[in-house]
Structure 1
Amino acid sequence: MYTLIGANQTRALRVKWALEELGVPYTQLPAAPRSAEAREHAPSGKVPVLIVDGATLTDSTAIITYLADHHNALTLKAGTLGRARQDGFTNMVLDEFDAALWTAARHSFVLPEDKRVPDVKPSLRWEFARSEELLVSQMGDGPFLMGAEFTIADIVLCHCLDWAVKAGFGVSQPRLAEYHAAMRARPAHIAARAE
């Protein structure tokens, strides 16, 4: 059984969603970032943390990649061109979407007030919208990033789109808005959002 440490309002939701998609048993300790509970398992206090057979895994993307590879689901086979393409989408979403959203969050509430630069946010919104256009131009014909197959790349993208809506960035591309609605309607996503 897996133990997930991290509240749903964090990137721990990505891991919880993957666990729900896989249908494997887990328990969740909904610890906040930098809380004593989080620091007990990760010195940085960052979440999510996944405890597997006494080992501690960190970083949401590393964790869901491990889960997908370990359970041979939610991913294309390592060493294939399809997997390389999937990894490319995953990394693009992290580099272009997650990074812009995280920088905006840092300058909104994470950094000490005297270190925040609110004037950076309009350029981040512009960059995010430009990244949406680029991603849509690379998407295939299927309902998922990889076409007909749901993968961990979809989990990362949907989580970033959730975050974008919440942060006021919005989703400007109609195809991404439809995709986002479809991903949020997945039973495992609904189950993962439940407290």
Structure 2
Amino acid sequence: MNAGTAAYFLGEGITRDHPLTAAQRLRVYELYFTCLRGSHVGQALDLHGLAHMVPACLESGDLAPVWEALLCCHRLKSGLPASVCARTGAVLGGATPAQEAALGDYFLALGLAFQLLDDVINLQGFGKSLKTKAEDLIEGKVTAPVIRALMALGAAGDAERQRWLWGQFGVPDSEREVGAMVDLRAAVKRRCSHLQL
């Protein structure tokens, strides 16, 4: 924990290792602390999870709020650090504010895309030891594929399979039918390809 906490202060070295104007130094500090605050909030949201939102969303038939909450979490946790790194590079390179913003927005989108792809890759596993197949489902975590599958089942009028899928999150981990959950996601994707899963 101490090593992780000490790493927070390594970025400050940028301001000493490069000849910066006072305005550049201030901007780097602003970006750096924005990143620390935002990424910690994103990680806290990720640890808290989204399961508490799903029942009300299913009841209303509108899963958009839980989807937007997931995107917010991913933007803060993964998009913001990527954006801040790009923006800091822009500041160090003497970019205009508009150039800095454009680069930051682009890397924010890349960070978000990375995290969404990570959610999808998790269903299949990755490498021999990097990710266990369906690790998020095993742990009962509500991720992008789960939300999109719930949305697609709702849009297709398949309330029975939607209830079954969500019901899997209420059973003990050892009893959860993870393989069937992964297979359902694939079946929903084939049947509802027009829904941009």
- Superposition TM-score, scaled by structure 1 size: 0.30
Q: Which has the higher strand share?
A: 1
Larger Rg belongs to: 2
Compute the TM-score of the two structures, normalised by the length of structure 2.
0.29
